[in-house]
Amino acid sequence: MAESALSELVVWHDHPSGIFPAGEHFFPADRERLTALVAALRGDLSETYLVSVAKLVSRDEVVPAERMPLRLTNLRAFLATHHSRLVETLGHERVRANTLAHGARRIAQLRALGALDVIVDGQVAELARIGSENWRPQIDPWAAVPDVLQTANVVDVEARRESGWPLTVDADITDLVLLAAHCCILPDATGIDAPWADELDWVSFPMSEEEEENGLPEDVVRVRPAIDTEKVEVLAFAEASLAPGGALLRVHIMASEEDA
């Protein structure tokens, strides 16, 4: 049975999750917007930072004054242009229903685990807020954009050097790209059965910048944005004249351990 693009989307404490349903789906989409999104992503994946190892080895956390979120200039411009579609999508009644059900499950789990009353009460208050007539999701798509220094800090420099592995790390922008993809389809779009899909000329979204890692200086960690292929197996689009919008968006989201 065809599934809604919003069937798992939840906005809890203003944080989106389940942005697309797990599994492989084909959604009618706007060809021009998809083309623009792929071009924006290709431009931003080349954004590169070389972080001095000396700046990382002596600290556990990055102080606020030194934070450096990824710029992602092209994705920012794309989402600014199509912001109204994202607002419409997140404000859909299905998202509210999903979120209410999610909140009720979360509260029941916390109570079953014997969580402190103050923790449970906070979740109950959030559930009541979402259930109010005036609730609208107020997410900031950029709130979770990776910080360059924090990302570089996850690299175990000594272990990498001993193993001969390059000092490189990807900054995960998967959720941001998936939110942008929602701007290319109608809210609550329903997937279609596409037995002829393999015959289409698919354009894959780039997942990361393809470049040799040889030649990097030994005293830096290279940081670059990427889509996590352990979360998204396929993200692509193809022209399809019979589909509303002239294209199909192909999304294959890997099931999480919670879904298994």
What proportion of the chain, given as a percentage, has pLDDT over 70?
93
What DSSP letter does each residue of 158-187 carry, written as one string?
Answer: HHHHHHT--SEEEEE-HHHHHHHHHTTS-T
> Average pLDDT for residues 84-92, to the nearest whole number?
94
With a cut of 60, say whether residue 1 has pLDDT above it. Answer: no
With a cut of 60, say whether residue 230 has pLDDT above it. Answer: yes
Closest by CA to 180, choosing from 5, 33, 4, 17, is: 33
Average pLDDT, the chain: 91
> Average pLDDT for residues 246-252, to the nearest whole number?
95
- Residue 105's pLDDT is 97
Q: What is the pLDDT of residues 179-191, one digit of tens each?
A: 999 999 999 899 9
**Across 18-27, 196-205, 222-231, least confident range:** 196-205
The DSSP code for 198 is G
Residue ranges of the domains in the chain? 23-85+141-253
CA distance 62 to 77: 27
CB 179 within 8 A of CB 41: no
> Average pLDDT for residues 141-160, to the nearest whole number?
90
- Residue 260's pLDDT is 40
Residue 210: pLDDT band (50, 70, 90) is confident
- Residue 61's pLDDT is 65
Q: What is the pLDDT of residues 4-46, one digit of tens each?
A: 999 999 999 999 999 999 999 999 999 999 999 999 999 999 9
The answer to whether the pTM exceeds 0.85 is: yes
* 151 CB-contact burial (10 Å; exposed 0-12 / middle 13-18 / buried 19+): buried
